[in-house]
Amino acid sequence: MRTSSLFSEDMDWVSVPAPVFGQLLVDIEDANELKILLRTLWFISRKKGAPRPISIGELRADRLMSEAVSLSGDALVTELHRALDALVERGVFLSIDDRDTATYVLNTPAEREAVSRSKIPVRDIVAVAPETWDSPSSRPGIYELYEQNIGALTPLIAERLTEAVEAYPEAWLREAIGIAVENNARNWRYVTAILERWQTEGREDGKPRRDPEELQQEEFRKAFAKYARRT
């Protein structure tokens, strides 16, 4: 029997923060709140730069948002305010003091830093927010580290990262990503080339056996050559 699918190989993917699939699934009992969260994350993912604010006005004008919660007009606006304010309380969003419309940004380290640099006044910062939305540790996990430094965490990349976490020490992964960033080679294949070389030639506790500067330059040359051959 033939089955149809909503998904295609060349479709766009949206990077969803890991906490959405964690404690928030337990905490959010209201279906509309969850729908509004997911659609808002989709809008934010389409924005460039930082910070990436989203306003009630943008969400109100979205046809899919209206259909998802079966509301329109003033009733939709009221529901958006209710759900987003609840998500502020959960630490997912920060509420921005905008004179013209209610505006929100994701409550992540990168967005908070961007808001601080832009001098945008924040209306509501809940004390427990960082513990709710961010990792309990200030040190990002490997998946977050990849998103912050390399690119979007697509399902394929997430699978590759999971395999790498099982195959290599965490210190190797962190250092390889750091080298990729330093050499402006933000590509998972480049990171993999570094890891494979370390595994082949040997390392001890994630530390190079030779002079760090000399090794890093050689790693860059060999990893880049291997990456170039694959592309």
Tell which residue, 210, 130, 168, has the closest CA to residue 219: 210
pLDDT band at 64 (very low <50, low <70, confident <90, very high): very high
pTM above 0.75, yes or no: no
Average pLDDT, the chain: 76
55 or 212, higher pLDDT: 55
User: Band of the pLDDT at 138, cuts 50, 70, 90?
Assistant: very low
CA–CA gap between residue 173 and residue 209 (Å, rounded)? 17
* Distance in angstroms (rounded) separating the CA atoms of residues 44 and 49: 10
Would the pLDDT of 119 be above 60?
Answer: yes
Could you tell me where in the chain the CATH 1.10.10 domains are found?
A: 18-133
SS3 at position 95? strand
Residue 156 above 90 pLDDT? no
CA distances from 137 to 6, 125, 140, 168 (A): 37, 19, 7, 21
Task: Give me the CATH topology for the region 18-133.
Answer: Arc Repressor Mutant, subunit A (1.10.10)
Name 86's Cβ contacts closer than 8 Å, sequence gap at least 6.
30, 33
Secondary structure class of 55 (helix, strand, coil): strand
User: Does 180 have pLDDT greater than 70?
Assistant: yes
- β-sheet with 122-124: strand ranges across: 54-55, 103-106, 93-96, 122-124
Which pLDDT belongs to residue 50?
Answer: 74
The model's confidence at residue 11, banded by pLDDT at 50, 70 and 90, is low
Report residue 189: phi and psi, to 5°. -65, -35
